[in-house]
């Protein structure tokens, strides 16, 4: 398998992926508004906000050093680079055995800089957000390895491409259960990693309860734009991962594959909108329990895994 894809279609898919990231966020916001009986802003609203931020000047704290200036770029690049491992075409843009490990660790690198950038400002709110992010992120990687790692062991392949493109045998019923359970823990992982309800509230801004928004409280201008764009990129990343996982037909196979892919994406967005409409954010002490629950689902996966 070649390291870097030469398939122009997959690169086109990546272009769509990077361009379309804010659209999914806009879609969720629209759905949320509709569910709660409001009309809501257009689905393109996130784009307008990104453009607005890009035009503004950037203000740095007097205490901030090079970390604050570098972090937005690192956070963006890690998420964007991790996306290149997902097989959006017949194969991923970059694929090699073990890319799923690099995927998890790249996202961790982004988180590392995000937390440091928060502590760089010397503000109390940012420190609070950073502490919470570090705390909840501890659970993210076990959940990821319980789902994707067990899939890798079962399919005996260690790259996203070989797992997601033809690695899963859909005729085996225990695989179907396996993938569905994995999908559930991915959904929980997405809620925590993308700072959505019930772990974090992307809308509150000046409460003592926020996590991601607290960390970027002092970011402005282009930096804030990069953070916001990365947030929507990560959201799309997890949704696409789920959609690729739950697709017996293959995205670039028959047309129905593309339909199933789009439906899963929409389903994830709708599910999230539903959860955010119906539920309030958890009290912070409850969040570790929620994440432990998601890890426990991963354990359930393992029990099935013994069966295989």
Partner 1 sequence: MIWFFVISLLLEALSFVMPAFVRESRRLNVAVNLLNATALLLGLTFSLSGLLVYQYVEYQIELPAAGPVVIGFDGLSLFFLFTFQLLSFAASLYAIGYLRDYIERGFSVRAHLSFFTLLIVAMQLVAILHNALAFLIAWEAMAVAAYFSIVFDQDREDVRRGGFWYFVATHASALLLFVCFLTLHEKTGSWNFNDFASYTGYDTQTLAIVLLTGMIGFGIKAGFMPFHAWLPNAHSAAPTHVSALLSAINIKAGIYGMARLMMILPALSAAYGWGLLAVSLVSAVLGVWYALAQHDIKRLLAYHSVENIGIIGLGLSVAWLGRCYALPELVVLGFAGALLHTLNHAIFKGLLFFGAGNVYQRAHSGNVENMGGFARVLPLTSATFLVGAISICGLPPFNGFASEFLVYKSFFRTADLLHGYAPLAMLVSAVGLAFMGGLAVACFTKLYGIVFLGVNRSGIAPQPQSEPASSNIPLLGLAGLCALLGIFPQIGLRLASPALNELANSAQAPVGWASPLAQLQIVFALFLALVAICYGLKRWWQSKAGVRVHETWGCGYARITFRMQYTASSFAEELVNLGRPMLAVGMKWKPISTILPTAEAFHSHCHDRMENGWLAFHGVIGRVLALFRWIQSGNIRHYVLYMFAALFFYLLCALVWN
Q: Segment 42-61, which members bind partner 1 (CB under 8 A)?
A: 54-61
The full DSSP string for 251-291 is TTSSHHHHHHHHHHHHHHHHHHHHHHHH-PPPPGGGHHHHH
Among 16, 19, 153, 296, interactor with partner 1 by CB under 8 A: 153
Contact 240, 250 (CB under 8 A): no
The CA distance from 305 to 148, in Å, is 12
Any idea which residue has 């028959």 for tokens? 254
The CA distance from 164 to 142, in Å, is 20
Of 28-36, 37-45, 143-151, 243-251, the segment contacting partner 1 by CB under 8 A is 143-151
The CA distance from 182 to 134, in Å, is 24
Q: How far is the CB of 119 from partner 1 (least distance, A)?
A: 3
Whose Cβ is closer to partner 1: residue 221's or residue 248's? Answer: 221
Under the criterion CB under 8 A, does residue 282 sit at the interface with partner 1? Answer: no
Nearest in space to 126 (alpha carbons), one of 50, 231, 217:
217
Whose Cβ is closer to partner 1: residue 8's or residue 55's? Answer: 55
Which conformational region is residue 250 in: left (phi greater than 0), alpha (psi within -120 to 50 degrees), or beta? left
Under the criterion CB under 8 A, does residue 111 sit at the interface with partner 1? Answer: yes
Q: How far is the CB of 221 from partner 1 (least distance, A)?
A: 6
Any idea which residue has 């073990």 for tokens? 98
Among 12, 15, 19, 138, interactor with partner 1 by CB under 8 A: 138
The CA distance from 48 to 210, in Å, is 24
For 112, the 3-state DSSP assignment is: helix
Q: How far is the CB of 79 from partner 1 (least distance, A)?
A: 11
Among 3, 255, 280, 283, interactor with partner 1 by CB under 8 A: 3
Among 43, 108, 275, 300, interactor with partner 1 by CB under 8 A: 108
Residues 194-213 that bind partner 1 (CB under 8 A): 206
Among 13, 24, 31, 74, interactor with partner 1 by CB under 8 A: 74
Nearest in space to 87 (alpha carbons), one of 177, 195, 23, 5:
5
Among 22, 87, 149, 250, interactor with partner 1 by CB under 8 A: 149
Of 35-43, 62-70, 168-176, 257-265, the segment contacting partner 1 by CB under 8 A is 62-70
Under the criterion CB under 8 A, does residue 19 sit at the interface with partner 1? Answer: no
Whose Cβ is closer to partner 1: residue 226's or residue 268's? Answer: 226
Q: Nearest-5° angle of CA 199, CA 204, CA 207?
A: 95
Among 37, 39, 280, 306, interactor with partner 1 by CB under 8 A: 306
CA–CA distances in Å: residue 257 to residues 90, 245, 265: 12, 12, 12
Under the criterion CB under 8 A, does residue 70 sit at the interface with partner 1? Answer: yes
Q: How far is the CB of 194 from partner 1 (least distance, A)?
A: 17
């Amino acid at each position: 398998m070649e390291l870097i894809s030469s398939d122009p279609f997959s690169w086109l898919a990546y272009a769509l992926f990077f361009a379309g990231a804010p659209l999914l966020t806009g879609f969720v916001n629209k759905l949320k508004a509709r569910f709660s009986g409001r009309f809501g802003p257009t689905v393109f609203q996130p784009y307008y906000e990104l453009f607005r931020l890009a035009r503004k000047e950037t203000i740095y704290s007097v205490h901030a050093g090079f970390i604050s200036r570098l972090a937005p770029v690192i956070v963006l690049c890690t998420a964007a680079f991790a996306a290149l491992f997902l097989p959006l075409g017949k194969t991923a843009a970059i694929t090699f055995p073990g890319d799923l490990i690099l995927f998890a660790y790249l996202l961790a690198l982004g988180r590392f800089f995000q937390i440091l950038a928060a502590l760089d400002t010397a503000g109390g709110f940012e420190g609070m957000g950073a502490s919470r992010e570090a705390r909840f992120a501890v659970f993210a990687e076990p959940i990821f390895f319980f789902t994707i790692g067990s899939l890798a062991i079962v399919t005996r392949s260690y790259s996203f491409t070989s797992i997601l493109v033809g690695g899963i045998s859909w005729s085996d019923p225990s695989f179907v259960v396996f993938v569905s359970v994995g999908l559930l823990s991915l959904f929980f992982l997405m809620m925590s990693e993308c700072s959505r309800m019930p772990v974090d509230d992307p809308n509150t801004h000046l409460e003592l309860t926020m996590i991601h928004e607290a960390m970027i409280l002092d970011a402005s201008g282009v930096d804030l734009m990069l953070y916001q764009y990365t947030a929507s990129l990560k959201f799309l990343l997890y949704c696409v991962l789920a959609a690729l996982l739950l697709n017996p037909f293959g995205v670039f196979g028959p047309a129905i594959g593309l339909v199933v892919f789009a439906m899963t994406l929409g389903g994830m967005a709708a599910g999230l909108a539903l959860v955010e409409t119906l539920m309030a954010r958890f009290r912070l002490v409850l969040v570790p329990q929620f994440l432990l629950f998601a890890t426990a689902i991963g354990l359930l996966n393992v029990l099935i895994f013994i069966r295989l």
